[in-house]
Structure 1
Amino acid sequence: MEIKEIYNYYLQSSGIATDNRKINPDNIFVALKGDNFNGNKFALSALENGAKYAIIDEAEYKLDNRFILVENSLLALQRLANYHRKQLNITIVGLTGSNGKTTTKELINAVLSQKYNTKATLGNLNNHIGVPLTLLSFDNTTEMGIVEMGANHQKEIEMLCEICEPDFGYITNFGKAHLEGFGGTEGVIKGKSELYNFLASNNKTAIVNIDDTIQNEKTQNLNRITFGLNNNDCFVNIKNIETNPMVKIEFENITIQSHLIGLYNANNINAAITIGKHFGVSNEQIKFGLENYIPNNNRSQLLEKNSNKIILDAYNANPSSMNAALTNFFQLEEQNKVAILGDMFELGNESSDEHRKLIEFCFNHEEITFYFVGHDFNNHKNSNSNMHFYESFETFKTAFSEIKKENNFILIKGSRGMSLERTLELI
């Protein structure tokens, strides 16, 4: 079936659904497949639950004209999203990077929404399914779209760019994330730079942190809008950055006091300022948007519980983000500091070495009590009196419940699979 014909069905619907249990009236259900499920089996159930049509890719499930048979349901979803994107008179900002993508996306949205009707990726729906769903959530009232693109292997960003066709692109950083899939640090740089390749090929524009050597070098021949610290040659010159513990930024005649923890969040804010300035958002509107953004979902949240102050940054972790979070934590002038750190995933053959390096990074901070949680950290346990190692969260939970936990300043950080936010229940 031609994509234009499928699009006509889409225009008659109330939107897309991929879960037959979460159907809104007149949705189109798209039957996707995974290693352990076949969405075609649930197409009839989706229609019974209120869907108007169901896109399927196995002929045996086509019972009547409400079933739209295609060769591949996922490919149809992606092509539909791209076709929809082409019909809209909309500017799209695409972003990727090793760390800070979701926070940066939220900050850009907070700024642009002060002047425009914006829509952005919900949560972290940033993959080969999430990006199409994001695009299909845009409509004729949307003026600016912000699309987060995640990847864990080569050619993935290239594919996502072909779907969403960003007009502007920003890479937060190149860090040690998904090393296993990308094939090492150089593979990360190559994979994330697929965004730059798309921008160059299509005469689009990059937002560039000129203080990042790799970003600066790779965008020399691109249309670009730059920001930097104390650099008058940049489009946005950031005059001062402070963290104690929240990030405060000064540019032009404006001071922004954010609710974000750590120096590593400064460039996320700077990118949002730069994009806002380019699109004519006033300094006062930029300040209002950024100062009213409150992080959530376990991302750089500052909490208080039972006399303890807590930095909860347990949504994800990799060597780069862990190093940045600890560097910030080391610099904070607080008493009774405690760091609870969980294993970092998807590091492949470099996992053991990266966990060892992180422990060594903490060696000179005897004033901090460290709790390392997880198999990979536990493989490098040592006899330092301020360092404690646990094979699993359950063994950590048992030991930690017996420790006095009052008037501490606590950092909690680990990969998503560690679910270290559970530590809050122990405090």
Structure 2
Amino acid sequence: MDPKKLYSLFSTSTGVSIDSRKIDKNQMFFSLRGNNFDGNKFALEAIKNGAKFSIVDDKRLEGKDDRIVYVNDSLKALQDLSNYHRSLFDTKVIGITGSNGKTTTKNLIYSILSQSYNVIKTKGNLNNHIGVPLSLLDINENIDIAVIEMGANHIGEIKALCEIAMPDFGLITNYGHAHLEGFGGFEGVIKGKSEMFEYLTQNYGNIILNNDDKIQIKNCKGDLAITFGQKKDSEFVFKYKKEQNFLSFENNGDNFRCEIYGDYNFTNVAASITIGKFLDVSSSDIQKGLISFKNDSNRSEVIDYGSNKIYLDAYNANPTSMTAAISNFENSTTKNKILILGDMYELGEFSKIEHQNIIDSIDRKDFLKVYLVGDIFYNCITKSKYFEKFKSTEEMSKSVILKDFKSTNILIKGSRSIGLEKLITS
């Protein structure tokens, strides 16, 4: 169906839903398919629950109800609809991709720009071929800027998301050893993430370029790069001062402070300040944005837990982010340090060696104890009782009670599905 025709129906609705159980009155329901579900089966239920239209790609449903709208591909229809909707507004779109730090950077940029503009952002981690279109449909005539996170685990996906979202600005947080299975290795990660730069170059967009990252510099072919970093030839030069539990920056005489831990977050905060300054947000408002910044749950949180302090980063993990987190924790001035590490996923044939590399890189003298959680870590080789392994979070919670530690600093890092945050609530 022509996007304009579909849009004429959309304009009479109150929005879009992909869940027939949570549909609001007069929303448009899109029947999407997945590996284990078919939304077409719920198209009539959605109408019963208040949907104004149900968009389906199962021809057997055509004619079952006047509110059933047949298209060749429901997902493609949703993407085309959101692309057309985005094209109708002057809203500036900022695209964010990278292996690590996407959500943190998205939230930082949102917090800073919200001081001066009406801004929307992708909700949670809705950063894929479904989530990005849904986020774009939240744009309206009152929205100045949309901050859109874009995730990918295969080559070609960032290109497709850029073609839907049409970003005016874009940045790559970093290139890391994430989703190696889907990308086919680190070179595939570089190629896939760099599709953001390729789109912006071809469409005269603005690249927010980390001038300290040699790989980014190599893959940036455009003339409209806004550079930031510690190098003196950067357009926005940052001096970094390491302090306990927060980051401190100096840029062109302005001092900024952000209560987020981890040296690896330096580039995320610097990129966010750069965008704020480029878009004429005052330095005082940038600082207000940094102060009001709230990250999503389980991401770079510092939690007081009894007499202990927990550094919780248990939403996602890959070899690059885990190595950075361990290194930062190891080099911190805190005492009595314990590591709790959970399995990393989507590494394919690289999985075993990457997990073993993490274990081998840990300097035993710097930590009181290292707990390894998950089947992959469990099957790795450890040569000391200093390491203790558990097959699951549940198994560990039966043996280790975190509140029993006294005045201890604990880093918790692992993939979301391991559920390491349960160690705090158990």
TM-score by length of 2: 0.97
User: Following the alignment from structure 2 to structure 1, what is the Cα–Cα distance between the partners of residues 403 and 274?
Assistant: 46
Question: Residues 363 and 71 (structure 1 numbering): CA distance in 2 closer, same or farther, change over 3 Å?
Answer: same
User: 1:198 matched to which residue of 2?
Assistant: 199
Superposed CA deviations along residues 372-401 of structure 1, whole A, max 9, x for unmatched, are: 111111122323132111222233222214
User: Following the alignment from structure 2 to structure 1, what is the Cα–Cα distance between the partners of residues 402 and 118?
Assistant: 51
User: 2:77 matched to which residue of 1?
Assistant: 76
User: 2:340 matched to which residue of 1?
Assistant: 340
Name the SS of the counterpart of 2:421 in structure 1: helix
Deviation at 1:402, TM superposition (A): 9.3
User: Following the alignment from structure 1 to structure 2, what is the Cα–Cα distance between the partners of residues 23 and 305?
Assistant: 39
Name the SS of the counterpart of 1:297 in structure 2: coil
User: 2:373 matched to which residue of 1?
Assistant: 373
For 2:371, give the aligned amino acid: Y
Superposed CA deviations along residues 11-43 of structure 1, whole A, max 9, x for unmatched, are: 111110000011112110001111221111111
Deviation at 1:92, TM superposition (A): 0.6
User: Following the alignment from structure 1 to structure 2, what is the Cα–Cα distance between the partners of residues 197 and 258?
Assistant: 32
Name the SS of the counterpart of 2:304 in structure 1: strand
Contact 2:245–2:259 (CA under 8 A) maintained in structure 1? no
User: 1:30 matched to which residue of 2?
Assistant: 30
User: 1:138 matched to which residue of 2?
Assistant: 139
Deviation at 1:253, TM superposition (A): 2.6
User: 2:355 matched to which residue of 1?
Assistant: 355
Moved more, 399-408 or 356-365: 399-408
User: How is 1:3-14 mapped onto 2 (pairs within 5 angstroms)?
Assistant: 3-14=3-14
User: 1:168 matched to which residue of 2?
Assistant: 169
Superposed CA deviations along residues 235-275 of structure 1, whole A, max 9, x for unmatched, are: 21102231422222222232222121101111111011111
Contact 1:94–1:149 (CA under 8 A) maintained in structure 2? yes
User: Following the alignment from structure 1 to structure 2, what is the Cα–Cα distance between the partners of residues 407 and 375?
Assistant: 30
User: 1:184 matched to which residue of 2?
Assistant: 185
Verify: 1:20 aligned to 2:20, yes or no. yes
User: Following the alignment from structure 2 to structure 1, what is the Cα–Cα distance between the partners of residues 221 and 53?
Assistant: 48
Contact 1:241–1:266 (CA under 8 A) maintained in structure 2? no
User: How is 1:23-422 mapped onto 2 (pairs within 5 angstroms)?
Assistant: 23-62=23-62, 63-229=64-230, 231-401=231-401, 404-422=404-422
Deviation at 1:319, TM superposition (A): 0.3
**Matched positions, count:** 425
Contact 2:337–2:366 (CA under 8 A) maintained in structure 1? no
Deviation at 1:227, TM superposition (A): 0.4
For 2:69, give the aligned amino acid: I
Name the SS of the counterpart of 1:21 in structure 2: helix
Deviation at 1:406, TM superposition (A): 2.3
Deviation at 1:296, TM superposition (A): 3.2
User: Following the alignment from structure 1 to structure 2, what is the Cα–Cα distance between the partners of residues 104 and 136?
Assistant: 21
User: Following the alignment from structure 1 to structure 2, what is the Cα–Cα distance between the partners of residues 419 and 402?
Assistant: 15
For 1:409, give the aligned amino acid: N
Question: Residues 85 and 47 (structure 1 numbering): CA distance in 2 closer, same or farther, change over 3 Å?
Answer: same
Contact 1:339–1:410 (CA under 8 A) maintained in structure 2? yes
Contact 2:337–2:410 (CA under 8 A) maintained in structure 1? yes
User: Following the alignment from structure 2 to structure 1, what is the Cα–Cα distance between the partners of residues 365 and 302?
Assistant: 22
Superposed CA deviations along residues 148-194 of structure 1, whole A, max 9, x for unmatched, are: 10000111111111111111110000000000000011110011011
Contact 2:313–2:413 (CA under 8 A) maintained in structure 1? yes
User: Following the alignment from structure 2 to structure 1, what is the Cα–Cα distance between the partners of residues 81 and 95?
Assistant: 18
Contact 1:370–1:386 (CA under 8 A) maintained in structure 2? yes
Contact 2:359–2:382 (CA under 8 A) maintained in structure 1? no
Deviation at 1:220, TM superposition (A): 4.6
Question: Residues 342 and 402 (structure 1 numbering): CA distance in 2 closer, same or farther, change over 3 Å?
Answer: closer
Name the SS of the counterpart of 2:99 in structure 1: coil
Superposed CA deviations along residues 393-414 of structure 1, whole A, max 9, x for unmatched, are: 2332222149932221111110
Contact 1:243–1:261 (CA under 8 A) maintained in structure 2? no
Deviation at 1:49, TM superposition (A): 1.3
For 1:14, give the aligned amino acid: T
Deviation at 1:365, TM superposition (A): 3.2
Structure 1: gaps of 5 or more residues: none
For 1:251, give the aligned amino acid: N
Name the SS of the counterpart of 1:37 in structure 2: coil
Deviation at 1:64, TM superposition (A): 2.4
Contact 1:310–1:411 (CA under 8 A) maintained in structure 2? yes
Name the SS of the counterpart of 1:33 in structure 2: coil
User: Following the alignment from structure 2 to structure 1, what is the Cα–Cα distance between the partners of residues 226 and 219?
Assistant: 13
Question: Residues 138 and 402 (structure 1 numbering): CA distance in 2 closer, same or farther, change over 3 Å?
Answer: closer
Name the SS of the counterpart of 1:189 in structure 2: helix
Structure 2: gaps of 5 or more residues: none
Name the SS of the counterpart of 2:412 in structure 1: strand
User: Following the alignment from structure 1 to structure 2, what is the Cα–Cα distance between the partners of residues 282 and 392?
Assistant: 48
User: Following the alignment from structure 1 to structure 2, what is the Cα–Cα distance between the partners of residues 362 and 344?
Assistant: 16
Question: Residues 29 and 220 (structure 1 numbering): CA distance in 2 closer, same or farther, change over 3 Å?
Answer: closer
